Amino acid sequence: MPKPPSPLLELRGLSKRFGAVQALDSFGLDVQPGEFVTVVGPSGCGKSTLFNIVAGLDEPDDGGILRFKGRGCHARELLGQVSFMPQRDLLLPWRNVVDNAILANEIEGANRREARAKALSMLPEFGLAGFESQYPHQLSGGMRQRVALMRTFLFERELMLLDEPFGALDALTRSMMQRWLLDVWQRHRRTILFITHDVDEAIFLGDRVVVMTARPGAVKLMREVNLPRPRAPELLTAPEFTAIKREVLDAIEEEAMKSFISGTGAAP
Amino acid sequence: MKPAAMAALRLLGGVILAGLVWEGAVVAFGIRPHLLPRLSDILTAIAFTPGAYWAGLQRTAAETLIGFAAGTAVGILNGLVFFRAPLLRDMLLPVFIVSQTIPVIAFGALVVMWFGNTLLAKAVIAFYLTFFPVTVNTLLGLNSVDPKQVALLRSFGATPRQILLRLQLPMALPQIFVALRLGASLSLVGAIVGEWFGDNTGIGVLLLQAMYNENVEALWAAILCAALLGTAFYALVAWAERRIVFWGVEQ
Amino acid sequence: MNRRHLLAATGAAAATPFIRPAGAQTLVRASLRLKWLTQAQFAGFYVAHQKGYYRETGIDLTINPGGPNLLTENLVASGADTFGLSGGTDSVFAARERSLPIVCAGVMHQQTPFVFVARADGPIRTLADFRGKTITTWFTGANFVLLGMLAQAGLNRGDFTMQPQQVSVQPFVDRQIDVVTATRYNEFFTLMSRVGRENLRVFVPDDHGITFPRDTVIVSEQTARDRPQMVQGFLRATIRGWRDVLADNKAGVDAVMSVAPTLNRPHQEFMLVEAGKLMVAGGAARNGLFWIDRPVIQAAHDFFRQHEVIKTPLDLAAAFNSSFLEALPVADRMA
Ligand SMILES: Nc1ncnc2c1ncn2[C@@H]1O[C@H](COP(=O)(O)OP(=O)(O)O)[C@@H](O)[C@H]1O
Ligand SMILES: [Mg+2]
Q: Is A77 in CB contact (< 8 Å) with chain B?
A: no
Element spanning B234, H or E: helix B216-244
Contact C2 B115 (CB under 8 A): yes
- Count other Cβ atoms within 10 Å, centred on residue B2: 6
Q: Are A30 and A75 in contact (CB under 8 A)?
A: no
List the CATH number of the domain containing B62. Answer: 1.10.3720.10
Class of residue C228 by CB neighbours under 10 A (exposed 0-12, middle 13-18, buried 19+): middle
Give the integer Cα–Cα distance in Å for B193 and B44.
26
pLDDT of residue B102: 86
Domains C3-9+25-111+212-333 and C114-208 share a fold: yes
Q: Is B35 in CB contact (< 8 Å) with chain C?
A: no
DSSP strand E in A9-158: where?
Answer: 9-18, 21-31, 36-40, 65-68, 71-72, 83-85
- Residue C15 pLDDT > 80: no
Contact B206 C5 (CB under 8 A): no
Confidence of residue A225 (pLDDT cuts 50, 70, 90): very high
Give the integer Cα–Cα distance in Å for A250 and A240.
16
A88 neighbourhood in chain B, CB within 8 Å: 148
pLDDT of residue B5: 87
Mean pLDDT on A252-262 = 79
Q: How many CB pairs under 8 A join A and B?
A: 58
Q: What single letter denotes the amino acid at residue A143?
A: M
In tens, the pLDDT along B159-168 reads 999 999 999 9
B90 found inside a domain:
yes
- Residue B92 pLDDT > 70: yes
Instruction: Name the residue in chain A with its Cα closest to that of B160.
Output: A107
Class of residue B22 by CB neighbours under 10 A (exposed 0-12, middle 13-18, buried 19+): middle
A104 neighbourhood in chain B, CB within 8 Å: 156
ipTM of the complex: 0.88
Domain boundaries, chain A: 83-156
Q: Which residues pair with C30 in a beta bridge?
A: C61
- Residue A167 pLDDT > 90: no
Residue C197 has what DSSP assignment?
G
Q: Are B49 and B107 in contact (CB under 8 A)?
A: no
Name the residue range of residue B45's domain: 39-244
- Residue A184 pLDDT > 90: no
For residue A166, the CA-to-ligand 2 centroid distance in Å is 12
- Count other Cβ atoms within 10 Å, centred on residue A261: 13
Q: Is B34 in CB contact (< 8 Å) with chain C?
A: yes
B positions 140-159 inside 8 Å of A (CB): 146, 148-149, 151-158
User: Which ligand 1 atom sits closest to the C-alpha of A43?
Assistant: 22
Which chains pack against C, by 3+ Cβ pairs within 8 A?
Answer: B
Mean pLDDT on A76-82 = 94
Residue C259: CB partners within 8 Å, gap ≥ 6?
Answer: B200, C38, C46
B positions 161-220 inside 8 Å of A (CB): 162, 166-167, 170
The closest CB to that of B212, out of C37, C69, C262, belongs to: C37
Q: Which CATH number is correct for C114-208, 3.90.180.10, 3.40.190.10, 3.40.50.300, 3.10.20.740?
A: 3.40.190.10
Contact B116 C167 (CB under 8 A): no
Verify whether ligand 1 is closer than 6 Å to residue A49 (CB atom): yes
In tens, the pLDDT along C148-162 reads 899 888 898 889 999
Give the integer Cα–Cα distance in Å for C211 and A19.
84
- Residue B53 pLDDT > 70: yes
User: Which ligand 1 atom sits closest to the C-alpha of A58?
Assistant: 1
Domain boundaries, chain C: 3-9+25-111+212-333, 114-208
Which listed ligand is nearest to A47 at the C-alpha? 1
pLDDT of residue A2: 54
Q: Report which of C84, C214, C73, C203 is spatially closest to residue C150, judged by C-alpha positions.
A: C203
Which listed ligand is nearest to A25 at the C-alpha? 1
Mean pLDDT on A165-191 = 86
Give the integer Cα–Cα distance in Å for A150 and A128.
10
pLDDT of residue B104: 86
Residue C83: CB partners within 8 Å, gap ≥ 6?
Answer: C30, C31, C32, C33, C76, C217, C218, C219, C231, C234
Omega within 30 of 0 (cis) for the link into C21 = no
Give the integer Cα–Cα distance in Å for B12 and B18.
10
B129 found inside a domain:
yes
In tens, the pLDDT along C96-132 reads 999 999 999 999 999 999 999 999 999 999 999 999 9
* Sign of the alpha-carbon dihedral angle for A74, A80, A84, A87: positive
**3-state SS, residue A66:** strand
Task: Identify which of A17, A38, A48, A163 to mutate to test ligand 1's pocket (most ligand atoms within 8 A of the CB).
Answer: A48
For residue A84, the CA-to-ligand 2 centroid distance in Å is 13
pLDDT of residue C45: 98
Question: Exposed e or buried b for every residue in A151-171, given b needs 16+ CB within 10 A?
Answer: bbbbbebbbbbbbbbbeebee
When divided into structural domains, chain B yields a total of 1
- Kindly write down the DSSP assignment for every residue of C1-56, as one continuous string: -HHHHHHHHHTSSTTS--EEEETTEEEEEEEEE-SSSS-GGGHHHHHHHHTTHHHH
User: Which ligand 1 atom sits closest to the C-alpha of A52?
Assistant: 17
Q: Is A193 in CB contact (< 8 Å) with chain B?
A: no
End-to-end CA distance of chain B: 29
Which listed ligand is nearest to A58 at the C-alpha? 1
* Angstroms from A138 CA to nearest CA on chain B: 9
Relative to beta strand C214-220, strand C134-137 is unpaired
In tens, the pLDDT along C261-302 reads 999 999 999 999 999 999 999 999 999 999 999 999 999 999
Give the integer Cα–Cα distance in Å for A47 and A64.
17
* Angstroms from C259 CA to nearest CA on chain B: 7
Q: What single letter denotes the amino acid at residue B38?
A: R
Does pTM surpass 0.90? Answer: no
Mean pLDDT on C15-35 = 69
Domain C3-9+25-111+212-333 belongs to what topology?
D-Maltodextrin-Binding Protein; domain 2 (3.40.190)
B positions 202-231 inside 8 Å of C (CB): 205-206, 208-215, 218, 221
Which listed ligand is nearest to A27 at the C-alpha? 1
CA angle C103, C107, C109 (to 5 degrees): 145
